[in-house]
Chains A and B, each alone.
Chain A
Amino acid sequence: MEPLIRVEGLCKDYRLVDRREGVSGGLKDLVRPRRRLLRAVDDVSFTIEPGEMVGYIGANGAGKSTTIKMLTGILTPSAGTVEVGGLVPWRQRQQYTRHIGVVFGQRTQLWWDLAVVESFRLLKKIYEVDDATYERQMALFDELLETGKLLSQPVRKLSLGQRMRCDLAAALLHRPRVLFLDEPTIGLDVVAKENIRGFLRDIRQRDGVTVILTTHDLGDIEQLCRRVIIIDQGRVHFDGELADLRRRVGQTVSLSVELREPAGSDELAAATGALPVAWEAASGLRHVARFNRAEVRAAEVIRLVVNDRQVQDLHLAEQPIEHVVREIYRQAAAGGGA
């Protein structure tokens, strides 16, 4: 199938003025400002198929929001091309924005002083949503996001989580084909995050909407996205399936063992003998073994331990995605790159 989103050689430079200190510095700035260019997004390319849900992640300042702003037509790229559904966002902005929904977690897209329902009515007019669709969408949002109770409040009186739910609903009112989410779970508590994730899963199943989301909460990624794109200092460092990412960094797993009687980690190490397994004492009777699944089979480690000791409990865990991503950043910083 033809990709829905096509990004090629995308770059964005910001013009910065370095300010000097003090009065004399201010004067100097006036006469000859010190300018420089900051390349926030650097030669980014990717394609996204219809119906995909892609996590776009990276450290603070990596260029995520800048990319999203170019994909949504807010910013004009310094170089490169973007095409979504055959349209160029910044050039055909008015037609394009009819087909997309956008949520910036940091800032609401609703009218600050208006009651939520007034914002929705305005959006209904702007996007020419017919009455039946409007009613259906509002019922859906109330069912999944419980927006019904919030409708009469002005946006500025909503809590962060309530506002985010309304923003999501507003972004989806006109049933867009593509949804751009820039940190949709920022600042939310665990329950609210779960709600939003559940909602996104639902909506994607219902409408087959294509989603790009940025986040610092890798829980979002693990629960929602099969594919991730990692950027660092404006450049793509990884683009592929989450499972691949794990494999690439090394599939380190940890086996936590609780013994019946106390023992030293070195004794356990002796039990697993020649296998490349690192043992570490955790707390009390618990010990943790770390090893690479590609080299050592978990069953083998378990067999050796159980043969050697009286074991009360066992727990095998994948390395959390945080570690995986941190490892990618580390490799990028070390110049290992992609």
Chain B
Amino acid sequence: MDAGTTRFAAAGARPLPARLAWQARIFGAYFVQFLKMRLAYRMDFLVDTLAVGFSLLIQLAVLGVLFGKVSALDGWNFPQVLFIYGFSLVPLGLFNLVSVNLYGFADEYLIGGRFDRVLLRPVGSLAQVIFESFNVSGLNEILLGLAVMVHAGRELGWKLGAGFGVQDLMVLAVLAPGAALVYLGVFLALTTVSFWFEDKMGLAPPVYNLIRFSRYPITIYSLPVRVFLTFVLPFAWVAFYPAAWFVGGPHLAKVALLTPLVGAVVFGGAVLLWRRGVRNYVSTGS
């Protein structure tokens, strides 16, 4: 631009593919940076991995004990429940992978004023916050979830091509990220609240505890609870509904396909809330 012009280059002149490629490059670079930093603290990584794996094994054991006594849960047999459980771990892992910065958001970004720096960069503010840090132990959950699903599938007598086709794999590849969007949307909405209220604690921890209810077939709950988990706090969509594609009846299987839509709506709503929140950001006095 020559010195005479007083107008900056036109807005959004770039085509979408170029924009997306640029974003992908940046977040790739963020990820590489993150790994470099992580490798400097190798022990942490190891401990994280062990801790998460251990706690998941305990939860599985509990489930095993539970089903040692009752062989079926309201019409669902053990392998089916196990499959739902295994499925629930995949979106949870995806979500955990990218959500670390949401929990500490108020402390790390708002109160410390670190959000100033985020806003000074020509990249989406939410994307920066999400991609600035990763929780690698999310990968454990994903792997464990896949293993549990494979195991449950075997118990159900599935084989690749018989009972579980390539189509199912593709559906899994769409539903799991869709379900992760539900998580992300819910917790993003809760995080956004800190743009208006200074309170550090927030609602995220109690809500996080409710996640465990989503790992069982929701038909075991009373109607109000089912309505609540489907429409209000839509955790039924993070495991039960999508997993029903594989283990539910034909009716539920259709409902399962709505998961990405629900994810998009919940996450989209949270993003709108975030944008309003950013306009409310007040930085710090010094």
Contact = CB atoms under 8 A, between A and B. Distances in A.
Interface of A: 1-4, 14-15, 50-51, 65, 69, 72-76, 84-87, 90, 92-99, 102, 104, 106-107, 109, 111, 113-114, 118, 121-122, 125-128, 177, 208
A47 to B, nearest CB: 10
Interface stretch (B1-9, B81-89, B206-214): B1-9
A73 B22 CA distance: 22
Contact of B33 (A50, A92, A93, A118): A118
Nearest to A17: B198
Nearest to B3: A208
B117 interface: yes
Contacts of B39: none
Contacts of B25: 125
Interface stretch (B52-60, B119-127, B153-161): B119-127
Contacts, number: 93
B167 interface: no
B20 interface: no
Contacts of A125: 25-26, 29
B1 A73 contact: no
27 contacts: A1-B4, A1-B6, A2-B6, A14-B282, A69-B116, A69-B283, A75-B282, A76-B281, A85-B6, A85-B7, A87-B8, A92-B11, A93-B119, A94-B122, A95-B9, A95-B11, A95-B122, A106-B286, A109-B117, A121-B29, A122-B29, A122-B30, A125-B29, A126-B122, A126-B123, A177-B8, A208-B3
Given A1-B6, A94-B123, A95-B122, A114 B12 contact: no
B124 A177 contact: no
Contact of A96 (B8, B36, B281): B8
A99 B8 contact: yes
Closest 6 CB pairs of A and B: A85-B8, A86-B7, A76-B279, A97-B122, A2-B6, A98-B122
Interface of B: 1, 3-4, 6-9, 11-12, 22, 25-26, 29-30, 33, 36-37, 113, 116-117, 119-125, 279-283, 285-286
Contact of A50 (B6, B9, B124, B285): B6
A50 B3 contact: yes
A122 B33 contact: yes
B116 A107 contact: yes
Contacts of B121: 97, 126
Contacts of A86: 6-8
B6 A75 contact: no
A1 to B, nearest CB: 7
Contacts of B280: 76
A141 B1 CA distance: 22
Given A97-B120, A114-B33, 11 more contacts: A65-B286, A69-B116, A74-B281, A85-B6, A86-B6, A86-B7, A87-B11, A94-B124, A97-B121, A109-B120, A122-B29
Contacts of B12: 95
A73 B4 contact: no
A113 B8 contact: no
A3 B119 contact: no
Contacts of B37: 113-114
B232 to A, nearest CB: 27
B123 to A, nearest CB: 6
Given A87-B11, A122-B30, A4 B283 contact: no
Nearest to B117: A109
A172 to B, nearest CB: 13
A7 B22 CA distance: 32
A15 B281 CA distance: 11
A99 B37 CA distance: 30
Contacts of A15: 282
Contact of A107 (B3, B30, B33, B113): B113
Contacts of A2: 6
A111 B33 CA distance: 10
Contacts of A121: 29
Given A114-B33, A122-B29, A177-B1, A127 B7 contact: no
Contacts of A126: 26, 121-123
Contacts of B286: 65, 106
